[in-house]
Amino acid sequence: MDELHIKGVVFIQTIQKYFKDESSFMILISHLSDPKNAFLFYFPLVFCLHRSVGKRVLWVAAISEWLNAVFKWILHGERPYWWVSESNLYKTPPHLEQFDITCETGPGSPSGHCMVTSAVIYIIVSDFLYYTNIKSFAIKLLCWSGYVVLLMLVCLSRCFIAAHFPHQVIAGTLVGVLIGMVMNKISTTNLSLPHYLVTSLALLSGGVGTFYIIQSMDLDPFWSISKAERRCANPEWIHLDSSLFFSIVRDFSSLIGLGLGLSLTSTTGVKFSPVFTPVQIVVSLALTLGSDWVQLPNDPVIYFYLSASLKFIVIFICVVAVIPKLNIGNNENRKQKKKKK
């Protein structure tokens, strides 16, 4: 494994030198592929356009991110930005440029950005081609080629910022594609609130169970956080919302919010106004993306995770049940005006 890491460091140094002038673009790609965007951007956008696909996107995001967290705990993967100084294989550790998004606190393998993005975008591309009933081979080839190019850029950007080794991004991408392919064959149409609650409980208990199993083996589940704190170039770049526990909280809370939201509203026989859809998209994205700026209490840490869970549940209830009522209400008002005329 050390040999793989050494070659990975050489690769990272090479692309950091070669793409030095494109650092802003690389950072942008990393930002866009952040797993949180699957929940805060892709889900609300797709849900407003197609409720069924939107539900599947959130399911895939939650399952893929949860699996990624469990894999990271089990595989115990290093990150380049701390490994070069912690490995003791170099007399003088090679210099790797760090950025404000480099210092993630979780283990490095497999890459969560690559795993979640490849799974979620697979669903979006696949369902887009299915529901639009596109027959043209050229258009299908263009869509899937764009998908491959996007994944390559994400992999490159994660290595460029020294957050991952090459083998970690490749593993994350392949597993993510596999998750997308499997989840795309599972119907979410007839799922009821108990399904969402049971799955959420399973994600929470599975994550906590993995944590305690690792701890019972006299291993430190927080080993990566201490390394991040020691080797990050700027302590202000370290954030709790990059921890594995936060990911698990987001996963089970989002499914609870989705389940509660769907149970609070019935769309049977309801026609949504396409005219209002752009407004629905803007309002939904303003809520979800705006929520990311809400400061949560950090001390004690249990308050941080409890408030984060509550925040995600409320957000997804609003996106699924509250905001769509504006669309329905607008459509009903239009019908009443037509009747009066």
Find out whether 79 is annotated in a ligand binding site.
Answer: yes
The Cα–Cα gap between 293 and 275 comes to 30
Tell me the pTM. Answer: 0.91
Instruction: Supply the pLDDT for residue 36.
Output: 95
Find out whether 158 is annotated in a ligand binding site.
Answer: yes
Low-confidence ranges of the chain (pLDDT < 50): 269, 332, 334, 337-341
- List, in sequence order, the alpha helices (H) in the chain: 2-18, 23-32, 35-37, 43-49, 51-75, 80-86, 112-131, 137-160, 166-183, 193-216, 223-231, 244-264, 277-291, 301-317, 323-340
- Those residues with Cβ within 8 angstroms of residue 168's Cβ, 6 or more apart along the chain or in another chain: 77, 108, 109, 110, 111, 158
Planar angle of CA 298, 304, 307, nearest 5 degrees: 135
The predicted-structure confidence for 295-321, as pLDDT tens digits, reads as follows: 888 778 888 899 999 999 999 999 999
User: Closest Cα to residue 28, out of 153, 196, 190, 212?
Assistant: 153
The predicted-structure confidence for 139-167, as pLDDT tens digits, reads as follows: 999 999 999 999 999 999 999 999 999 99
Q: Any catalytic annotation for residue 195?
A: no
Q: Say how many residues make up the chain.
A: 341
User: Closest Cα to residue 46, out of 114, 137, 118, 120?
Assistant: 120
Cα separation of the two ends of the chain: 75
Q: Cis peptide leading into 300, omega within 30 of 0?
A: yes
**Dmax of the chain from CA atoms?**
84
Residue 202, classed as helix, strand or coil, is helix
Residue 111, classed as helix, strand or coil, is coil
- Find the helix packing angle between 166-183 and 2-18, rounded to 10°: 90
Active-site choice (31, 76, 95, 164): 164
Active-site choice (113, 167, 195, 239): 113
Instruction: Supply the pLDDT for residue 340.
Output: 42
Please state the φ and ψ torsions of residue 297, each to the nearest 5 degrees.
Answer: -65, 130
The Cα–Cα gap between 273 and 288 comes to 22
245 neighbors 210 (Cβ within 8 angstroms): no
The Cα–Cα gap between 296 and 307 comes to 7
Domain limits of the chain?
Answer: 2-340
